[in-house]
Each structure stands twice: as C-alpha cells, then as structure tokens.
Structure 1
Amino acid sequence: MKKMTAQEVASKIIYGELLFILDVRNEEDYAKWRIEGKRVTSVNIPYFDLLDGVEHARDQLPQDERDIVVVCAKEGSSRFVAEQLEEAGLKEVYYLEGGMKTWSETIFPVKIGDLTGGGSIYQFNRIGKGCLSYLIESQGEAVVIDAGRLTDVFEQFALEKGFTIHHVLDTHLHADHISGGRALSEKVGATYYLPPRDAEEVTYSYEPLLEGETIQVGQARIRIQSLYSPGHTIGSTSFIVDDQYLLSGDILFVDSIGRPDLAGKAEDWVRDLRETLYERYSALSSELIVLPAHYSKISEMGDEGRVFAKLGELYQSNAGLQVANQEVFRKMVTDNLPPQPHAYQEVRQTNMGKMTPSAEEQREMEMGPNRCAVHDSSESRRK
C-alpha cells in the first residue's frame, strides 16, 4: 500500500506534474472544496458507492501511467479504496496521507525575488487554503508578514537559512484563518505589530502599525513602509517593501478584490475599499509587484507556485479595478459576496484573544477554501 504526503502532492501541483485525484468524500464536500491544479484531473466517486467493488469505477480512471491519489477527509476511507484499486490491477495508486485535514495545513515556501540592498523575499503558499504568508530577510534578520497558525514552518525555514526573526506583522485582523503572528512572536522573541484600528477589542499587547511607519530589516536598510488601506477591514494596512513590492493583504488579489463585509459593515466599508483601490493604490508606481495574502483560483498561481502580478498590469486585467462608476462598483461588490468563511466569527474572536480553542478545534475552524475575495460575475459591469 503506497501513500503520498500532502507535501508531495503540493510539489507536483506547483511544478506542473500530471496528477489524477479520486476523491471519495461525499458530493457536497467535494463541491465546496477539493484539490485543484493546472494539470490535475479530479473525479468524485463517494466512498459508499465503492464499498461493493471498484470495477464500475475503472472507466473513470486513467488508463495511462499517471499517479492516482485517492483522497478522503482523514485517510481511512482512501486507504481502503486504494487497496481495492491495487487488487483490481491498477499500479500507480496512492492514498493521501492524513486526507484533506492534512492538505488544509500544507505550506510550500517559494522565493519571490532579491532585494536591492541585499536579501530576499519568500512567499509561503498554503495551497489547500489559498493563504499566503511572507518572510523578508536581510543580513541574517527577518520579518514575517501574515503568518498562519502553523508557525513551525517559519521557525524551521529561518533556522535552516540562518535567519533570526525580529518582527512579525499582520496586515489586518484576519477572519478566514487563525493568525499565528502573536504566537510566532512570543516563541521567537520578536515584536508583534497589528493595525490599531483593527485591534480595539484585542486582549493582548501589540505594537501599533501606523501609516508611514518604517521597519528596518538588516543593515542593508530594507524598508517596509506601512500604507493605511482600509476596505477589507477598517484597519487594513499594506506594506511597500524595498520600493519593489506591495504586500496588499486582503485588499487586492491577482484576479479579484477584497470583500468588505466580514464585520457586518459592507455598505460602510465598500466606500473605503474603493478609495484604497482607486485612489491610494492608483497613486503608487505601476511597477510595484503585488503580493496578496490570499488567492481563490489555481489560475492565479504562476510558475513554481508563486502568486504575484505588477500593479499596472492589474489595473488592466483585474475586473475589480475596471469600474469607473461608484454606484456600479458598490453594487458589484455587495451583489457578488461569496458565502461567509467557515466559522469566521469564531476565527475573529480567536484572533482577538477572546477565545482559546484547542489545536483540533482550530483545525476544524479553518477547514475549507478561503473566501476573502469578491469576483465580478458580469462583464457588463466593467464600465
């Protein structure tokens, strides 16, 4: 019986290898959230339809030498089905170790580029959730931005590369996943920063991120400049790094824009969102490389799993930046809000420090896709 780890599956997707997924969860769970990739073929045949044998499913499976990975929620059902497929004569059959529970937590770090004064910026792609975190380093010092709950990956990466994490920043108070920013800062002895307008209800100490504040990383004086950019939350703050990169948090994505409703204030915050996108961001250099905190579609992921685009290009291609009329923009945003993220109220409460769920409860709270983006569903609104 062969297994494939979630990290191995992520590597195949990121580097564009062919992969066939047989997902044996129920149809509803599969429709909401599944493993995707540009060269991934996925089929859903529920486990209970395979209990009496797998022969009837063979015509839906590849006849070539592609790897077949059987996937379920936690692992048990996929192991049983993979065993049945092996006994039926299929050779390259694996089960996903840990199931979708483990897939949700898999993080793949990739290098984005070098900095002008020395150093580099790395993107940490939590591919099963669409969450993106960043580590910026220069001369042995590092800062982590929008760290997820699984902080070991940042500690291990810094240890292997010889970096010391001095600062940890969150662009805003997250609602779709549990921030690891405060926990990471405590573990490594770093300073934790949070936008003060998002922190009015938090129960812990933090350093306020104020517009225009500059955080230095290393002796090369790599500047991380704060830019107040409300709209997703009232305190959302972007960062300009080395005059090359714009870390946009959940305000602007490669193929969409941020949603303004996760605190129940969509009608109020949509005005802030428009001002940030159409005034604050438009005044910045079009050559800045936008690095968002999330992505929704696999098409947003480029070579080697990297998610980024130049700001000027997004003003030409991103539908959320093409709406000249304010009322049309408001209607586009409020009419196209996706379902609320799973357990988002509990996630917000946890990120405020008002709840302390167990590790297993936190894992369950985060299950499912990210839902931070608004996608324009109508070409006619681009006017």
Structure 2
Amino acid sequence: MSTAEIRGMTAAEVTRKVLRDEPLFILDVRNEDDFNDWKIEGSRVEVINVPYFELLDGVDHVLDKIPADGEVLVVCAKEGSSKFVAEQLAESGRTNIAYLLGGMKSWSEHLEPVKAGDLKDGGEIYQFVRIGKGCLSYMVISGGEAAVIDAVRTTDVFADFAKEHSAVIKHTLDTHLHADHISGGRRLAEQTGATYWLPPKDADEVVFSYEKLEEGSDITVGSTRIGIQPIYSPGHTIGSTSFIVDDQYLLTGDILFVASIGRPDLAGKAEDWVADLRTTLYDRYKQLSDDLLVLPAHFGKFAELGEGGLVSARLGDLFKDNPGLNIQNEAEFRSTVSENLPPQPNAYQEIRQTNMGRITPGEEEQREMEIGPNRCAVHDN
C-alpha cells in the first residue's frame, strides 16, 4: 500500500479538532518517559502509548488496541517515526490513518488566536493559545494600532495577524523575564519598529536596551486611547507586572492562573519572594474589581480552556474557587509555594539567559530548549 493512502495532519488541524470537541484517537510512539511528561490532551481525545521500537517489526500486535473505525493519528517527536508507523497501519488494511506533521515539535509551537473580548470604545483583545506548551500571549488592537503582550518566539504569527486586521504593532511587552519559554517580544519589536517594554527589576542582567515598564505609566493603543495600565505584582519574579486593559481585563502574567498560582522558585529565590507573592495575591489583587476578567500567561491542563479555547476567569470567582487564593495560614502558604513543587521547566536556566540576551542559541536549539510543559504553576492539576 502506498504512502498516498496516509496523510499528514498539521498541528493547526489537530488544535481545531480538539477545540471543537471532535473525537480523535492518537497512537503516540515516543518513549514512555516523554509520553508521561507531556502529551496531546482533549475532552474527546483518546491516546495510547506504544514506543516506536516495539513497532519496528510490525503493528499486528497492537491492532486490537486501535479502533477499526474513525480517524487515527500517529504522533512522534519529529515526524519520521510516526510516518513509518502510519504506513505500517495502512499496509495492515486500516484506513483513515494520519501522522502529525513536524511531530510534537510542531505541536509545541502552534498558536491559535482566540478572541477574548471587545474594548469599550472600539477595538478587540485576542488571546493566542499555544496549546501544546500552555503559553498564552495577547494582542490589543485599537484604532489601527496593536500591542502584543508576552509574545512567544514564533513572531510571524503576530505580525501576520496584525496585518490581517489592518493594525501596526506599536508596542511589545513582557510581564516578566520568562523562564519556561523564549520571549519573542524584543525580536517582534525589532521586526516591526515597535517599542519593547520590560519590568526594570527583572532586567538587571539584560544586555539590550528596553523601555522601563513601571507602575503609574499608561501605554495607549490607537486613536481611541485604550489604556494598558501596569500594576507592579512581584512574586513569580521580583519584577512581575500585571496589566489592566480598558478597565475590563486583568493580564496577570505568571502570578495568577485559572486553576493555580505562580511559583516563586525559578530564579532560585523562593524564600525571598514568597512574601511578595502572597502580598500580590492576597492584598494588591484584592483591591481590584471582582469583575475584571483574568487573562493569565499560561495554563496547566486542557480542562482550563473554556469555550472556543479561551483561558479566562472572573477575578471574583477565582477568589472563591482557586486553591492558591484560599490558603489563610501564612506558614501553610509558604510551604505550599516553596515545597513539593512540580519539576522545573526544561532548560529554564538557559531560557532565562536567552531572554536576557546573554546567549544566542540557534533556531533548532531553541526548539529543543522549549520542549515539554511550561510548569510555571504551583499546582499542576
């Protein structure tokens, strides 16, 4: 049977199937450790793991585990192994077989734009869901101008999206110095002529120029003057800064998530930053309106995605439901956010050095550095 009878499926296609709650059966042929660390999830996704080396001599022994009807997607790290196994399945007589183009590397990089809401005087705010990595970026569009917040390194997506919406990117901003993924903020600013903003308390070791993102300033976007108001909110890093956009949306960076709170240990200063984290969450955020829509910089599990893939929650609801906002005892809070944490993100020290501009890894090395989940939260469930 020829390879014409299998097809490559893009990460974008898989994402849309997942977000539309379409049934999808996945045969993941990576090794067991990689599979257990990180996999494609979805409410109607069924996935099994059979390592590639167990399929080299044929697939007959796994056919009873794979549905005879419906689409089957074979997944591996880079593509080659999954294509081979897909061909084997097709030769066994199975139909409707696909393999993931680019493998889990492509899944890690795909960005899906989701509209988060409208702005009062015109304009929109979009969330870019990096579904395979759990990263969330944002674009505020108003009056033919745009600002991008927490951009990831695949910057063409933002440039193309702004162009499609007849907007010029004027500002790129990072809520903090990221440790789980390589920021695209500075690169996007260089590509578009925009101004790059970074909290100065996170920038002690950076080797490039930037505008200081400080509380009290009001960055405007477009002729309708949609304000992006920074709020100093340390705890995940010493410089972590949140944004209130249009008095409606609270972009919390890695301080507050839908199902958890940010961890304070990725710069090796957990003991120093625990008090800052508690003050931000239990004091500064308490002073804000309960009606603000929280838009975080990450999510941990597929269950945190809402309608259409949007990751969001009303601030007042999070104060009721988020376990990280309901630890009244300070000693218990300190132990929760500094002990028994999930593993740290892959290559996080090298990622921090890259985001400081101190090292310049090549494109393929950057992909390798980012492989795996983000792990920025205290709770990973």
Confirm or deny a common fold (TM above 0.5). Answer: yes
**C-alpha distance in 1, partners of 2:236/2:362?**
28
Alignment match of 1:133 (pick from 130, 137, 153): 137
Alignment coverage as a number of residue pairs:
376
One of 339, 346, 350 as aligned partner of 1:346: 350
- Code of the aligned partner of 1:252: L
For 1:195, the equivalent position in structure 2 comes to 199
Determine whether 1:20 maps to 2:25.
Answer: yes
Give the one of 183, 191, 194 matched to 1:179: 183
- Are 1:8 and 2:13 matched, yes or no? yes
Mapped partners of 1:227, 1:337: distance in 2: 27
Tell me the distance in 2 between the aligned counterparts of 1:89 and 1:376. Answer: 40
Q: Which amino acid aligns with 1:369?
A: P
Encode CA deviations 1:341-379: one digit per residue, 9 max, x unaligned: 1111100001001001111111111111111000188xx
| Distance in 1, Cα, partners of 2:231 & 2:45 | 38
Q: Map Cα deviations across residues 99-130 of structure 1 (whole Å, 9 max, x no partner).
A: 01111111111111100010000000111100
Distance 2:65 2:217 in 1: 57
| Map of 2:68 onto structure 1 | 63
Q: Which runs of 5+ in 2 are unaligned?
A: 1-5
2 CA distance for matches of 1:336 and 1:21?
A: 32
**Alignment RMSD:** 1.0
The equivalent of 1:310 in structure 2 is: 314
Q: In the alignment, which residue of structure 2 is the partner of 1:151?
A: 155
Q: What per-residue deviation string (whole Å, max 9, x for no partner) do you get for residues 302-344 of structure 1?
A: 1111100000000111100011111110011112311111111
Taking structure 2 as the reference length, the TM-score comes to 0.97
SS at match of 1:95: strand
CA distance in structure 1 between the partners assigned to 2:117 and 2:76 by the alignment: 36
Match of 2:271 among 267, 270, 294: 267
CA deviation vs aligned residue, 1:225-255 (integer Å, no higher than 9, x gap) = 0000000000000000001000000000000
What SS class does the counterpart of residue 267 from structure 1 fall into? helix
The CA deviation at 1:63 is: 3.2
Amino acid at match of 2:56: L
Q: Which runs of 5+ in 1 are unaligned?
A: 378-383
The CA distance in 1 between the partners of 2:362 and 2:203, in whole Å, is 23
Is the 8 Å Cα contact of residues 336 and 375 (structure 1) preserved in structure 2? no
CA distance in 1, matches of 2:380, 2:107: 28
Q: What code does the residue aligned with 1:84 have? A: Q
1:180-218 CA distance string (max 9 Å, x none) = 000000100000000000001100000001112111111
- Counterpart CA distance in 2 for 1:50 and 1:218 is 56
Aligned: 1:51 with 2:52:
no
Corresponding residue of 2:3 = none
Other structure's SS at 1:153 match: helix
Matched-pair identity in %: 66
Aligned to 2:173: 169
Please state if 1:36 is matched with 2:38: no
Equivalent residue, structure 1, for 2:377:
373
State the Cα distance separating 1:90 from its structure 2 match.
1.3
292, 295, 301: which is aligned to 2:296? 292
Whole-angstrom distance in 2 between the partners of 1:12 and 1:372 = 26
Relative to the length of structure 1, the TM-score reads: 0.97
